[in-house]
Structure 1
Amino acid sequence: MSHRKFSAPRHGSLGFTPKKRCRRIRGKCKAFPRDRRSLPPHLTAFMGYKAGMTHIVREVDRPGSKVHKREVVEPVTIMECPPMVIVGMVGYAPTAKGLRTFKTVWAEHLTEECRRRFYKDWCKSKKKAFTKASRKWADEAGLALINRDLKKIKKYCTVVRAIAHTQMRLMKHRQKKAHIMEIQVNGGTISQKVDWIRQHFEKQIPVSNVFSQDEMIDVIGVTKGKGFKGVTSRWHTKKLPRKTHKGLRKVACIGAWHPARVARSVARAGQKGYFHRTELNKKIYRIGMGLQAQLEVAKAEAAKDDRDKNVLPKPKGNASTEFDLTAKNITPIGGFPHYGEVRNDYVMIKGCCMGPRKRVITLRKTLIPQIKPRSKEKIVLKFIDTSSKFGHGRFQTRAEKQAIMVGLVICLLVNPIFSGSFEEVPGTSKSRCLNVISVNKTVVKIFANILSSWGSLRVLSSYMFRCLLND
């Protein structure tokens, strides 16, 4: 007689209930790191966009471990982080029920992508948002009100947060509305924090000013939605025996006769995914510069070396290591699937993170003081994979692929000459050769002219070269 185990502990944590869809798509910082006034004022969070994943090779520096001084392959996630713009500040005053907002001060100019966030339909609106707030900066009476609010924040508030938004125009996303969040400013006195935010109104803050390499951070976001799922998929309960009547992906007993209700602790079918989650202690492996920043650095180095002005400077590449022979960028061949090219600064973190591609992810400084040696390990990357992520790629750069494929074309054209027959060479069908030839027709045309001078064209397929030379 078949039977089940008597011990059946519950499945799934009730700490994440109710399991329902999140109301917002942006990860919310429900807590910020403890303030240390000995440090200068600085931001404690940033927002980025998940681009995709790749893998790296590095040497482990962990004394006592079996992999100490050995190379390991680890998965990493790439997040594109264009500079954020500070457009306001909020002061929080302490009360008996906790912190509450005391005063809010906005900058003079807000970009269109920022103001779009305050409208459901930007095209049908009158686009009047923040027109009154911006007029305060134009006359003396308005400036007096702004200065009065800043003085009140310095006097009564204990927490100051900056209002910052992302720049969607710098990325090739369909969305035009910027994501806005309050970022707590830590370090220094309240007066220094207010002055720091005031000095950075309407200025861009790069991600390198907030985080540093080898730092441990927290990742906050909304997971990938899965829709309506059954109890086995949603709660990972044990499947019933094969001969169970009316299905086996169920919970056999959902409670006693009395009380005549289903308890909240019983696993039921419903929504899976699109939940707000926070992952702690993600290590930053690299903070890379964007394409434009790389070009500016290359121009500055060229100006110092007094090079020829007619020669265009070549950037070093934001995915190159000391062991790479050629410069390469973090975007793989063909781009990240369903994302595209990473043009701005990026953050590379160890492992995976929640959400699909293009989803906004909030990066926050860690809440827990890092004292373990493992968290302070210095990361030295030896290799960053930039091969195609759509299939089994083997080339790291387009130049490498072009050089090898052109060499293959030459081999495909030379081998039939000496073998005497085009079809006898294994793996050299006419359609495959034509596909390879399309990689670099200029080189093949030059090689065809050389072959014609040798009088060997009659040996090759006349159809193939007729299509090639008439192109």
Structure 2
Amino acid sequence: QIIAFTKYSNKYESDDGKKEIQTQLDKMKKYATVIRVLAHTQLRKMKGLKQKKAHLMEIQVNGGTIAEKVDYAYGFFEKQIPVDAVFQKDEMIDIIGVTKGKGYEGVVTRWGVTRLPRKTHRGLRKVACIGAWHPARVSYTVARAGQNGYHHRTEMNKKIYRLGKSGDESHQAVTEFDRTEKDITPMGGFPHYGVVNDDYILINGCCVGPKKRVVTLRQSLLKQTSRLALEEIKLKFIDTSSNLVMAASRPPGEAQVSGRLKA
């Protein structure tokens, strides 16, 4: 069995290797104008994924002098960065990802154009006129059939309702008003995902992409001034009933605490 980067790691464990690292850092402090770091995901924590290769991302370090940036970035080498070290509760964030793929679809589904009358010859889910004779080309503004979904999108201003840490009470769905001891995972697990074991982030609204697809979280680029953005959220109840069946079953013991939810 050949383990990756064995010679590379042995090289930098020696005294000569450590001197070489320090030389490279000194060169960066002297000549570099921009400092970026490479961060990767931990796919070993995601059970049930066939993918083994981690996702790589380049992140720019801002603030301070170049020497301070280099020292700050080097201090994070080979270390985990938990989500609560970057984001806080009640903060507005942006979510960047790739949407669910829908395949090749027509103009009515893809662009929402109006269907033609019922008696139309050769189909009615079409665009009747795709432009004038001249200019003698089809404009990009005309709705056409083609690929729908699997597009790169950025969804802005998602408010963080809760940051859950593994092994802590925040990982449970317990609130100040609902003291039922239950985990954040719904009964039977999330469909097509499973059980949440590690840290999680609870946001308001939908999230781009299907289950298990990697997303990028970033802090809002704008200064938030609205009341919704500055509001402090107090969760009263987190629904952990099953998402697998139509008639959702509630966790045992929840009815004694919260009472009947429906007549």
Contact 1:287–1:345 (CA under 8 A) maintained in structure 2: yes
Q: Letter of the 1:285 partner, please give it.
A: Y
User: SS at 1:252's partner residue?
Assistant: coil
Distance 1:392 1:186, change over 3 A: farther
* Structure 2 stretches lacking a partner, 5+ long: 257-263
Q: Which structure shows the higher strand fraction?
A: 1
Counterparts of 1:188 and 1:319, CA distance in 2? 40
Rg (Cα) greater in structure: 1
Q: Which structure shows the higher helix fraction?
A: 1
Q: Does 1:173 align with 2:28?
A: no
CA displacement, residues 364-416 of structure 1 (integer Å, 9 cap, x when unaligned): 11111112232111000000100111222141x2x43899xxxxxxxxxxxxx
User: SS at 2:68's partner residue?
Assistant: helix
Counterparts of 1:262 and 1:132, CA distance in 2? 58
Counterpart of 1:322 in structure 2 is 176
Counterpart of 2:117 in structure 1 is 241
Give the Å deviation of 1:176: 2.2
Contact 2:95–2:215 (CA under 8 A) maintained in structure 1: yes
Distance 1:346 1:380, change over 3 A: same
User: SS at 1:151's partner residue?
Assistant: helix
Q: Identity over aligned residues, as a percent?
A: 59
Q: Does 1:350 align with 2:204?
A: yes
Q: Does 1:388 align with 2:242?
A: yes
Counterpart of 1:161 in structure 2 is 36
Which stretches of structure 1, 4 residues or more, deviate above 6 A after TM superposition?
none
Counterpart of 2:15 in structure 1 is 140
Report 1:427-442 matches (<5 A): none
- The alignment's C-alpha RMSD in Å is 2.2
Distance 1:173 1:154, change over 3 A: farther
Contact 1:281–1:366 (CA under 8 A) maintained in structure 2: yes
Give the Å deviation of 1:197: 2.0
1:400 to 241, 250, 253: 253
Contact 2:180–2:253 (CA under 8 A) maintained in structure 1: no
Counterparts of 1:283 and 1:328, CA distance in 2? 23
Counterparts of 2:60 and 2:180, CA distance in 1? 41
CA displacement, residues 165-221 of structure 1 (integer Å, 9 cap, x when unaligned): 111111213222221211223333322221122122111111110100000100000
Q: Say how many residue pairs are matched.
A: 254
Q: Letter of the 1:370 partner, please give it.
A: Q
Counterpart of 2:127 in structure 1 is 251
Counterpart of 1:94 in structure 2 is none
Greater relative contact order (CA < 8 Å, ≥ 6 in sequence): 1
Q: Letter of the 1:229 partner, please give it.
A: E
User: SS at 2:193's partner residue?
Assistant: coil
Counterparts of 1:142 and 1:222, CA distance in 2? 40
Counterparts of 1:237 and 1:127, CA distance in 2? 55
Q: Letter of the 1:189 partner, please give it.
A: T
Counterpart of 2:214 in structure 1 is 360
Counterpart of 1:263 in structure 2 is 139
